[in-house]
Chain A
Amino acid sequence: MNKTISINIAGFAFTIEEKAFEMLNRYLESIKKNFQNESDCDEIMADIESRIAELFQEKLSDRKEVIIESDVEYITSVMGQPEDYVSEETADNFKTGEEKFTSEEEAEFVEAEEVDGKRYHGEQRKRLWRDEQGGTVGGVCSGLGWFFGIDPVLIRIGFILLTILGGSGILLYIILWIVIPEARTTAEILEMQGEPVTLDSIKDHVQGMKSNIKDNAKDTRKKVKRAVDHGVRAGSRVAESFSRFFGVLFILGGIFALFVLAIILFGDTGLLPLVGSDQIEDLQTLLGILYPDGRALLVFICIVFVTIIPIVSFIYTGVRMIFRIRHKNKTLGIATSIVWFLAVGTLVLTGIELGMNFRNEVEIDYVVPVETDSTNTLYVDVKQDDIFSNFIEYQKVWNYTELVRVQDDKVFLGYPELKIIAKNDSSNFEVMLYKESNGLYNKEAIHKAENIHYQIESSGNHLTLDPYFSVDANEKLRNQHVVIEIHVPQGKQVKFGNNIDRILVEVADDFYWHNETFVNTTWYLQKDGFRCIECKDTRRVYNRN
């Protein structure tokens, strides 16, 4: 008589003799020891148990209801001894089980042997390949790292420094990317890593690939170990923290850039270097008054893509550096690159199109009637400026961008020019108004020139000029200009009134000659040129004519 126990294997109930149970239990325990450190231990054990259950089922019948020791022995004969379950990673350990090496020592021993072999006759086996799987961008640094036996992070930092210091890093990288072939086959990868291409090494590599997928921690351990073998453990740590540090910088820099970009793209133009203060609401308005109809939005979208994609990938790189993410989404990378290049291409094409719109230049002349009385003086005033400030300071160079303003579908341009020219062949004043514009065709340019709104009020010997001219926003900015010319006969004079400093004044050919004011000055044409009556400095007599 024997005692029996009821057990459950893979969901099936079996009645088993106590001795047989102990035997089976020992058997399963010793199998389990082989895998207990592995993540898929439970799954392997479940598979084994369900096979055992199946084999037991075959052994049982109506006549035989209890599992006995001989059945368990049968199981071991079919399934094998515990050693037979050994996974390949620990196989060597079992083979040399009698030796005193522990698994860890053994592994190191094997690696040491490999390193040794490399040193004596394996150097020529090593070749330079790109390591796309292990790399960040194109695997150039990773490949170089394998080749020189140093941590790729150090090489990456080198490239970044080269880029920051001289800007040649990126160029060098691209050249290497093109020149160095990518390691695709197992043999090539082994060659890149400087390992001999043998059955064993291919097996090891295959193993490595699998453990790569299933266990990243192991992978890191392996890498660290490699670093130890090459004697740059400390370097690797420094490099790692450097990589993290740069990752943080990348992210912070990227976010800052994104912030600035958002303001430029969607907010006030104050940050746009070309456009001053609050003259133009935002970038879209600026594009709207430049690009032909329907192009502005397209250009805007392209600008958004062209600027945001590099910043976002910058941040992405930073995140990867911090969290040491090795996996990369190639499709996403390719797609964004394509979008970026398309956007750049579109910007170039629309830019060319925009340039074509400036092809023809046209000038329309108007004669402004004036009458002079016996005083022989023409008075010139400028109206109060309700758009731009009345007190724009004259400078050596005008900041035209501060004199553009979009308001109510109109573009106000605050830089009409006034030219005072000596006229020797007549005794009458002559006032001319020129409206100028560029355009795709002559006709268009004429149309645009005609549509410049500018008023000169003339009564007797008084002229009152607008401080600005304007065009409709849908006419677009096509280098529209307004020039007023006053031809002064000899012995007569022009007297400037209030606000004259608001517009550009040129006496003879001396353009913006002064840092002082033109307000309330009188310019008398002598034989040898204009002379300022009120000015104290007598050097300001102009002899250009």
Chain B
Amino acid sequence: MSDLTSRICERSELMNVENTKAQMRKGILEYCILTVLSKREAYPSDIIEELKKARLIVVEGTLYPLLTRLKNAGLLNYNWVESSSGPPRKYYTLTEEGKQFLTELKNTWDELQQAVQLISK
């Protein structure tokens, strides 16, 4: 037990601000991607533009594995659209399941936001 406690302490020392920030961002990344797609059909670069504006992500790489996983989880769907400047592009849309999922996440997010506000007062 003492070993475990010391490990926990060791770990919390290693936690720095940047780390926590990154964790927080990652947590809501999926929520934001789904929100962007709930507004319109989008190509990864379009999504990245939105996320860059919000300073959530700065590089595209983060997005691809996430999109694939969301798609394989049945939350997203895509259409191939021909492109003049390269290979065909995948345009992603939300599935019904994705919409439900988003609603649930939104509720949770609202709850959390309220909770944080309440505690910060």
* Residues in A222-253 with C-beta less than 8 Å from chain B: none
Q: What is the bound-complex CA distance between A56 and B87, given in angstroms?
A: 11
Question: Is B26 in contact with A84, judged by CB distance below 8 angstroms?
Answer: no
A82's nearest neighbour on chain B, judged by CB, is B61
Q: Min CB distance, A216 to chain B, in Å?
A: 13
Question: Is B73 in contact with A79, judged by CB distance below 8 angstroms?
Answer: no
* Interface stretch (choices A196-204, A291-299, A417-425): A196-204
Q: What is the bound-complex CA distance between A4 and B30, given in angstroms?
A: 41
Which residues of chain A are within 8 angstroms of B11 by Cβ–Cβ distance? 96, 109
Q: What is the bound-complex CA distance between A80 and B62, given in angstroms?
A: 8
- The answer to whether B72 has its CB under 8 Å from any CB of chain A is yes
Which residues of chain A are within 8 angstroms of B89 by Cβ–Cβ distance? 50, 54
Query: What 0/1 pattern do residues 43 to 65 of B give for CB contact below 8 A with A?
Result: 01100000000000011111011
Question: Is B73 in contact with A185, judged by CB distance below 8 angstroms?
Answer: no
Q: Is the interface of A mostly helix, strand, loop or mixed?
A: helix
Question: Is B65 in contact with A44, judged by CB distance below 8 angstroms?
Answer: yes
Which residues of chain B are within 8 angstroms of A91 by Cβ–Cβ distance? 23, 26
Question: Is B112 in contact with A96, judged by CB distance below 8 angstroms?
Answer: no
User: Are A109 and B7 CB-contacts (below 8 A) given A54-B85, A80-B59?
Assistant: yes
- The answer to whether B120 has its CB under 8 Å from any CB of chain A is no
Q: What is the bound-complex CA distance between A206 and B70, given in angstroms?
A: 10
- The answer to whether A113 has its CB under 8 Å from any CB of chain B is yes
- The answer to whether A330 has its CB under 8 Å from any CB of chain B is no
Which residues of chain B are within 8 angstroms of A35 by Cβ–Cβ distance? 65
A209's nearest neighbour on chain B, judged by CB, is B73
Interchain CB contact (< 8 A) of A40 among B7, B69, B74, B87: B69
Q: Min CB distance, B89 to chain A, in Å?
A: 8
Q: What is the bound-complex CA distance between A93 and B80, given in angstroms?
A: 35
Which residues of chain A are within 8 angstroms of B88 by Cβ–Cβ distance? 50
- The answer to whether A165 has its CB under 8 Å from any CB of chain B is no
Which residues of chain A are within 8 angstroms of B112 by Cβ–Cβ distance? 199
Ordered by A's residue number, 30 sampled pairs between the chains whose C-beta atoms are within 8 Å are A10-B87, A12-B86, A43-B72, A47-B44, A48-B64, A50-B88, A51-B60, A54-B83, A54-B85, A54-B86, A54-B87, A57-B85, A58-B85, A80-B60, A81-B59, A82-B61, A84-B62, A85-B62, A87-B65, A88-B26, A96-B14, A185-B108, A186-B104, A200-B23, A202-B27, A206-B105, A210-B69, A210-B70, A214-B72, A214-B73
**B residues apposed to A, CB below 8 Å:** 4, 7-8, 11, 14, 19, 22-24, 26-28, 30, 44-45, 58-62, 64-70, 72-74, 83, 85-90, 101, 104-105, 107-108, 111-112
Given A40-B65, A50-B87, A58-B85: 17 more A-B contacts, CB < 8 Å: A40-B69, A51-B44, A51-B45, A53-B86, A80-B60, A84-B59, A84-B61, A84-B62, A85-B64, A91-B26, A96-B14, A116-B8, A203-B26, A203-B30, A206-B101, A210-B70, A214-B72
